[in-house]
Every structure is written in structure tokens, then in C-alpha cells.
């Protein structure tokens, strides 16, 4: 599967499953953060020969950069692991299509997390109507 498609699907499923809150700042989440983070973590690898250890080191640093001490311990570990795996996907996108593909994969992932969470929250707010057939006396 192409890494951009994988990033989009992963973001949608993750947002839906976690009922993620709407993006607080969509411009930052979908434009600024992917540009800043991909230039910081993937650009140094762009001109280097493909190396599994460099890719893993970049993904690990990316995951650790998403560590948030304010979150509960289990959430912290999952967030770091999820971001690290995302880093591997974005590196794969960069290796297959350049830095622009890595930025796009990251941006589409972040956007899809927000969309998935919005859909899940709207579905949870819609309660099925229970019809009463007949009357009880």
C-alpha cells in the first residue's frame, strides 16, 4: 500500500476509534506542523542513501518529540509509539516520492484524524429512536 494512502486510512481509523476532538488549530495541524516536523526529521535523510538505521533513528526521535508528560502514562507510551510508527510511514513516503510526499502524508494523516473524530462524535450523538408498538396497560 502506498504510504500516503496508509497515512490517510490510519488517521481516519485512529480519529474514529479514539473519537478524537476536532483539531484545535487546523492550519497548524495540517500545514505548519507537517512542514516543520518533516523538514526537521525527514529532510536530513532526503539526500542520504537509504539506511534502515538512519530511518529508525529519525522515527524514534520523531516519536519521542511527541512525548507529553501531562498525559496518563499509558497514553504517553501509545502516543510515542504511534508517532514513531508514523515517522516510519512518512520516511517511506519520502523514500518513494521525495520530501513533498512525506509532508503530504503527514498533513493528510492529521486532517483525517480530525475528520474521523468528528464523524465518530456525531454518530455517538445520534441516538436510535425506539418505537413503542402497542400500548401497555
Provide the whole-model pTM.
Answer: 0.84
- 35-39's contacts with Cβ under 8 Å and 24+ in sequence apart are 35/103, 37/62, 37/65, 37/106, 38/90, 38/94, 38/99, 38/102, 38/103, 38/106, 39/99
Domain assignment present for residue 105? The answer is: yes
Q: What is the pLDDT of residue 28?
A: 95
Give the CB-side neighbour count of residue 20, counting CA atoms within 13 A: 19
Domain assignment present for residue 93? The answer is: yes
- pLDDT tens track for 25-62: 999 999 999 999 999 988 887 766 666 678 888 889 99
Closest Cα to residue 15, out of 111, 82, 126? 111
Domain assignment present for residue 137? The answer is: no
- pLDDT tens track for 87-113: 999 999 998 999 999 999 999 999 999
In the predicted structure, residue 125 carries a pLDDT above the cut 90 = no
In the predicted structure, residue 129 carries a pLDDT above the cut 70 = no
Q: What is the pLDDT of residue 65?
A: 93
Judge whether 15 and 120 are in contact, CB under 8 Å.
Answer: yes
Query: Sorting pLDDT into bands at 50, 70 and 90, what band is 134?
Result: low
Domain assignment present for residue 108? The answer is: yes
Range of the domain at 74: 3-123
Domain assignment present for residue 89? The answer is: yes
Domain assignment present for residue 42? The answer is: yes
CB burial readout 113-122, b (16+ within 10 A) else e? bbbbbbebee
- pLDDT tens track for 8-19: 999 999 999 988
Domain assignment present for residue 133? The answer is: no
How many domains are there within the chain?
Answer: 1
Q: Where are the alpha helices (DSSP H) in the chain?
A: 3-18, 26-27, 33-41, 43-46, 52-65, 73-97, 99-125
Domain assignment present for residue 128? The answer is: no
Query: Sorting pLDDT into bands at 50, 70 and 90, what band is 131?
Result: low
Amino acid at each position: 500500500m502506498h504510504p500516503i494512502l496508509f497515512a490517510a486510512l490510519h488517521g481516519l481509523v485512529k480519529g474514529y476509534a479514539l473519537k478524537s476532538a476536532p483539531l484545535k488549530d487546523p492550519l497548524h495541524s495540517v500545514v505548519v506542523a507537517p512542514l516543520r516536523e518533516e523538514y526537521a526529521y525527514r529532510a536530513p535523510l532526503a539526500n542520504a542513501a537509504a539506511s534502515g538505521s538512519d530511518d529508525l533513528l529519525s522515527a524514534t526521535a520523531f516519536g519521542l518529540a511527541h512525548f507529553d508528560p501531562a498525559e496518563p502514562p499509558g497514553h504517553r507510551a501509545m502516543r510515542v509509539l504511534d508517532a514513531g510508527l508514523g515517522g516510519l510511514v512518512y520516511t517511506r513516503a519520502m523514500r518513494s516520492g521525495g520530501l513533498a510526499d512525506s509532508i503530504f502524508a503527514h498533513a493528510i494523516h492529521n486532517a483525517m484524524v480530525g475528520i474521523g473524530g468528528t464523524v465518530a462524535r456525531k454518530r455517538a450523538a445520534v441516538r436510535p429512536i425506539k418505537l413503542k408498538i402497542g400500548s401497555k396497560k
